[in-house]
Amino acid sequence: MLQKQGRSILVFILGMLTFAVGSFLVSTYIIVERPTKDGITDDWGQICFWPDADGLYAAVSPKGCYSTSCTRPKLQSGTAIVDIQNHKIQLETRFVLVKASHFPLPCADNCDGGGVVQFKLEPLIPNDYAVWFRDEKVGNLMIFSGRPTPRQCFDNIS
């Protein structure tokens, strides 16, 4: 009787271990968190430029308000092309955001959860540069000569 009970306990423990390992494998490798269509953002919310000792930096954030406690970036990518001859800076970004629920807590009241794509650009020759995001002209970036270039930002309000 005691031997039969010991076997039952062993079978139960082995079954629970098998379940735990199987659950881990399924949740890690099979169930992939896929972003919803509204989680893929190709539009920009803000583009900022600022100088540093080793070059010019640019940062692009996605359009929209995404709470840091309820949204997390899954993918952030982008390209920046500087055409010195034509005084043009061409930017393109893509953000893939997923919901990160912290139930039962409410979402934080901020808009920084979408992330930021940053670019390091080479030092530019002083001039006005047209800033483009895909095929949309964002504005003109002024690179000063003889004095520090201030931080310049463009907001996409529309």
Q: What is the pLDDT at residue 112?
A: 85
Positive or negative torsion for Cα 82, 83, 86, 90? negative
Q: Which domain holds residue 87?
A: 37-155
pLDDT at 23 over 80: no
Average pLDDT value for residue range 93-99: 90
- 65 with 87, same domain: the answer is yes
pTM > 0.95: yes or no: no
Q: What is the pLDDT at residue 37?
A: 54
- 89 with 61, same domain: the answer is yes
Which 3-state string (H, E, C) describes 103-158?
Answer: CCCCCCCCCCCCCCEEEEECCCCCEEEEEEECCEEEEEEEECCCCCCCCEEEECCC
Tens digits of residue pLDDT in 134-157? 999 999 999 988 788 899 999 998
Contact by Cβ (8 Å): 28, 85: no
Positive or negative torsion for Cα 105, 109, 114, 119? negative
- 52 with 129, same domain: the answer is yes
Task: Calculate the average pLDDT of the chain.
Answer: 84
- 28 with 69, same domain: the answer is no
Q: Which residues of 54-74 are buried (b: 16+ CB within 10 A; e: fewer)?
A: eebebebbbbbebbbebbebb
Q: What is the pLDDT at residue 30?
A: 54
- 68 with 4, same domain: the answer is no
Contact by Cβ (8 Å): 149, 46: no
Q: Could you give the number of structural domains in the chain?
A: 2
Tens digits of residue pLDDT in 51-67? 888 889 999 999 988 88
- 74 with 96, same domain: the answer is yes
Out of 1-15, 63-77, 88-102, 136-150, which region has the weakest mean confidence (pLDDT)?
1-15
